[in-house]
Structure 1
Amino acid sequence: MNIITTEIPEVLIIEPKVFQDDRGFFFEAFNFKKFTEQTGIFANFVQDNHSASKQNVLRGLHYQIQQPQGKLIRAIVGTIFDVAVDIRKSSPTFGQWVGCELSDLNRRQLWIPPGFAHGFVVRSETAEVLYKTTDYYAPKYERCIIWNDSDLAIDWHLTSLPILSPKDAVGQSFKTSEIFL
């Protein structure tokens, strides 16, 4: 696999080695040994999540203030624009974000460590997203930063207003959100 660093060094784009011929393709979506050796990250994934969404659905920006989750994200159908926001107060990249297109065609994955808010918007007609997490979902610790926070100024590459869940529509501003120290 190929590891690509982003403007936030802890957030990584992972490109698998794909074997393709006239029959189709094959690749290892996850190999613990290779992941650990090539990234230096020892992640113990405990939960797999699968979401399906239609075009312009925006999910996020989510995080858990306790039981923070590292996430390994990939789109298995369609295309999403995936975003990670550093909400670690002690980090030199605090308040910065990175985004990456993930699709069933580029087969890229995005590693987002604990201490980041995460969200994505669906750019294709539909998309299905799989992601592994390093801790269990804990609704009482879940927090949400509003997707269009002016301080973060995330460029979602939108052509119209996104479709939001009621929870995501009332996310907190970055300035008033609970963050990691």
Structure 2
Amino acid sequence: MKFIDTKIPDVKIIEPKVFGDERGFFMETFRQETFNRECCERVFIQDNHSKSTRGILRGLHYQTENTQGKLVRVTQGEVFDVAVDMRQHSVTFGQWVGVYLSAENKRQLWVPEGFAHGFLVTSDEAEFVYKCTDEYNPSAEVSLHWNDPILAIEWPLAESGSPKLSDKDSNGLDFDSAPKFK
């Protein structure tokens, strides 16, 4: 696996080695020892899988308790995946990273604890899978507004300019009023 730095050093792109022939392909998507050595030491305790259609934006989410690091990838389709640094002590506080993840490029993104996370589906459908370092805790979940002007995330939206959102995400907090990590 190849670990690639982003403009936020704690967020990493991970590219697996893919072995393919006329039968298809094989790749290793995770190895604890390699992840610990090349990225950081974490234990993953929960795996999640979602399916969405074009134009759906899920996020930007984080938890103030049971804070989750996420190792994310796409097994079908394509998404534009975003991580926002919510750590006040960080030199990259308030900055974001956006990466295209797809079944074709097979890239993964490591989103550490202390980051808001979300994605926009850019293909007809996308299946999104991710490993988490802590359990889902709905009572501690925060939804940060996807188009907060302070963050100025450059979402690759279609002509309409409006993604499909859940009620929770439609009513997300603005960056200034959202809880931060110390």
Superposition map of 1:1-181 within 5 A: 1-39=1-39, 41-159=40-158, 160=160, 161-181=162-182
CA distance, structure 2, for counterparts of residue 63 and residue 35 of structure 1 = 22
Uncovered stretches (5+) of structure 1, i.e. residues with no partner: none
SS of match in other structure, 2:38: helix
For residues 76-123 of structure 1, give each alpha carbon's deviation from its aligned partner in whole angstroms, at most 9, with x where no partner exists.
000000000000011000000000000000000000000000000000
CA distance, structure 1, for counterparts of residue 176 and residue 38 of structure 2 = 35
TM-score (norm 2): 0.98
CA distance, structure 1, for counterparts of residue 93 and residue 34 of structure 2 = 29
Read off the aligned partner of 1:12 and give its amino acid letter. Answer: K
Read off the aligned partner of 2:166 and give its amino acid letter. Answer: S
Deviation, structure 1 residue 126: 0.3
Deviation, structure 1 residue 37: 2.0
SS of match in other structure, 2:65: coil
SS of match in other structure, 1:140: helix
CA distance, structure 2, for counterparts of residue 38 and residue 172 of structure 1 = 34
Deviation, structure 1 residue 35: 1.4
Deviation, structure 1 residue 38: 2.1
User: Aligned residue pairs: how many?
Assistant: 180
CA distance, structure 2, for counterparts of residue 37 and residue 162 of structure 1 = 38
Read off the aligned partner of 2:21 and give its amino acid letter. Answer: D
Deviation, structure 1 residue 66: 1.1
For residues 23-55 of structure 1, give each alpha carbon's deviation from its aligned partner in whole angstroms, at most 9, with x where no partner exists.
10000111111211222x111000000000000
RMSD: 0.6
Uncovered stretches (5+) of structure 2, i.e. residues with no partner: none
CA distance, structure 2, for counterparts of residue 3 and residue 17 of structure 1 = 11
CA distance, structure 2, for counterparts of residue 89 and residue 79 of structure 1 = 31
TM-score (norm 1): 0.98
